Structure 1
């Protein structure tokens, strides 16, 4: 039993110290942890909806009977099992107890093995209740996350699973991705779906601050610490206490301050400028970079020992060009959101627009696509233009793949998908076959027809299969 339900708590409510001692002994021998109180109010102070075990209470208590306590517990959490014990029970009382939601009703004197078995079954039932709640919460969180991290591509589905899993931990996270891929959205989700969700989310862009201000912004200062410091200032690290601190563009942090940040992560303390003693801090650090951290270490922009503290967990955000048809889904979502914001009709994308969405490289990633959707909505009522013209600025963007008909459109779409898969997998055909669910011969034929090769860097038009 101890192996299957380790340290599950059982709350004993009884105003008789000798009975509490006896119940404690029997229940602990059965492999449970016990908590003990003498009065109902004390019991209610111990209970929450997260209580993982069950309650064992005498019916006859000073000031309030066990049936009244049972009803109060039911109001708190109807799924929390309550076992009632009495030396004065009769059939009507047992019926009332069961109608009020008691898990079981036991009369004194009772066999210790019997009460241990009842407690065991009650805790097993509670475990199922908690498991079902956790599953429902996970499903709810997953649906909520889909509205933030939009995309049906395998890469985005995997990223959402990672975010929900790692959100429950307190480990440091390093988010790596190109500019505009949504790194701050991911950091916010790690906060919002975590136990720290009620704490602050403090974001600071290390690249956006003058070097002279970074130390004061992060660590704070005491009054008189330097010229112009006329009062104490709480730094961003301290302000994030109990929550999450996001350091965006971490590789832009001055190397002179990186040892000080490393000390914060190691010792959970922050030194204000001019301070005489460190201040305890409780934060989860999330950092973000738009270049490979290993390259930043080799170039001297990031300390290696700091990197080891930052990347306990690494999350890599794929660029939009490698996400297949996610561009269509994102564009449609943004168009509808902006139409609501500006009280306009949502304009429909043409076949030419959809072809451009899937074949354009989107160097600015989701941020660029979002801006394009906003301009598309605002221009539609007065000067509708092809999406390509809005994005590239070319008034005559030239022929579109769709101009040649459906076949050209499908070729452009297939080329985009295969090219992205080849790039993601470094030209490894077996991995591309698995991702696209294509036989080798079919993939080779398509690559030859579309002028693609396994060349990882350039994907040259050699036509090699």
Structure 2
């Protein structure tokens, strides 16, 4: 016998109050919640594809028979179990109903234990249907999210799992990551895969607006609130009602306005500029920062009490340089997309291009890589260049061979890897050793063999640590 969680609903449809009362008692004793109506029309207002229990209905109802109700329920959701209660003379009709999709029928007079058992089995079946639907939806969402947040690295796989999990909640999310890592894409996904997906997605960049405009953009204003306010304006917070407000660069929000945003999050009300009555709002806040939020608090750019409100969930987005071979996957995807957009053939990346993709630090992250792919596609038919030249502007890119054997390619890969690490760490050998997990002697030998030095990388004046 399956134990059912509390509050699994059973809808009782019967025009006889005494029968409804009896069914209520027996079904509740079996551990279910009951909802009771007298007519088919009332029943249909209580049902949807999200209904998690079953329906128990008499075959003979005042004004409409149970068969008609069954057909309407099957149209709504063919997997919603319907249990029919029949009199002795109604058995042929009940058999017909079974053929039409009813789950089972119980003949009057019936044993209370028997109807409880039928209801229990019907709800077992419904729970299995709902679990399978949720699994299929999760798989669909996962595939859809994978096309947005591209990457096969473990860091990106973990990030996609987090996004899908937290999208189902209504908690405030703070997305932390470097510029160009795709924070707005993640915010949009948190909206699109959430119960708020049919509501608005309102985005505002606090760093991109003059300080004088931020308050009016976020909170709105009444007519006459200030010079030039000739009519009422609804702010972004209010316009995001029922959906998601994405506040990018939250650490750039003027400090005097941060308590006002805190009140919105605490009280679920917004005060328009010049208004006398607060306006109720229903939003989910997703915010983003390219600085460490704790450091923003220490430096006085972000109130600590606001941070506690906006980061109930904190998502860290890895920079591209920490995502391994994802750069190759992303570049190939972007190249094919831009080739299709511009009606051009997709150029193939050479070995030297791939080595550069894997060793360049990509300070602009995915945004910079996307721009590089677009330039790569557009230049290929008329002025093909190594990817490194397109990205860095350096045309002395002889470090990577256009072609060659495996040793040449491996040497070129190592050279770019070590040179990239030297540049990232300002020539500090100890940090290069740590990043590449190489002892000093091995690193020195490789640098000598590959013709690398701190002077060659333009870091001769850097103090070694």
Unmatched runs of 5 consecutive residues or more in structure 2 = 446-458, 460-465
- Residue in 2 aligned with 1:53? 53
Stretches of structure 1 lacking an aligned partner (at least 5 in a row): 433-442, 453-459, 461-465
Q: CA deviation at 1:385?
A: 1.2
Counterpart of 1:192? Answer: 192
Q: TM-score, normalised by structure 2?
A: 0.89
**Whole-Å Cα distance in 1 between the matches of residues 332 and 120 of structure 2?**
53
Query: Which residue is 2:168 aligned to?
Result: 168
Question: 2:452 matched to which residue of 1?
Answer: none
Please give the per-residue CA displacement for 1:323-344, whole angstroms capped at 9, x wherever unaligned: 0000000001111111111111
Distance in 1 separating the partners of 2:334 and 2:265: 38
Q: Deviations over 1:342-374 (max 9, x none)?
A: 111111111111111111110000000000111
Alpha carbon RMSD of aligned pairs, Å? 2.7
Quick check: 1:376 aligned with 2:376?
yes
Kindly state the Cα deviation for residue 451 of structure 1 after the two structures are TM-superposed. Answer: 6.2
Q: Note the C-alpha offset of 1:407.
A: 3.6
Measured against aligned partners, the alpha-carbon deviations of 1:261-283 in whole angstroms (never above 9, x if no partner) come to: 00001110000000001100000
1:146 maps to what in 2?
A: 146
1:438 is matched with which residue?
A: none
Is contact 1:176–1:289 with CA below 8 Å preserved after alignment?
A: yes
Aligned to 1:350: 350
**For 1:17 and 1:136, how far apart are their aligned partners in 2?**
40
CA distance in 1, matches of 2:194, 2:344: 36
Map residues 235-250 of structure 1 onto 2, 5 A cutoff: 235-250=235-250
Please show how residues 178-189 of structure 1 align to structure 2 within 5 Å: 178-189=178-189
Q: Which residue of 2 aligns with 1:124?
A: 124
Query: In the TM superposition, what are the counterparts of 1:226-375 in structure 2 within 5 Å?
Result: 226-375=226-375
Q: Distance in 2 between matches of 1:447 and 1:410?
A: 20
CA distance in 2, matches of 1:366, 1:222: 41
Alpha-carbon distance in structure 2 between the residues aligned to 1:130 and 1:241 = 29
SS at match of 2:109: coil
Q: Identify if the C-alpha distance between structure 1 residues 451 and 183 changes in structure 2 by more than 3 Å, giving closer, same or farther.
A: farther
Cα pair distance change 1:444/1:213, threshold 3 Å: closer
Deviations along 1:237-273, whole A, 9 cap, x unmatched?
A: 0000000001100000000100000000111000000
Report SS of the residue matched to 1:208. coil
TM-score (norm. length: structure 1): 0.89
Q: Could you give the per-residue CA deviations for residues 39-67 of structure 1, whole angstroms, max 9, x where no partner exists?
A: 11111111100000000010001222111
Tell me if structure 2 keeps the 8 A contact 1:179–1:365: yes
Alignment size in residue pairs: 437
Check conservation: 1:202, 1:239, Cα contact below 8 A: yes
Q: Distance in 2 between matches of 1:2 and 1:94?
A: 27
Distance 2:437 2:247 in 1: 44
Following superposition, the deviation at residue 95 of structure 1 comes to 2.3
Residue matched to 2:212:
212
Alignment CA distance shift 1:411-1:158 (3 Å): farther
CA distance in 1, matches of 2:3, 2:310: 36
Residue number in structure 1 paired with 2:34? 34
Q: 1:90 to 1:20 in 2, by over 3 A?
A: closer
1:3 & 1:413 partners in 2: Cα distance? 60
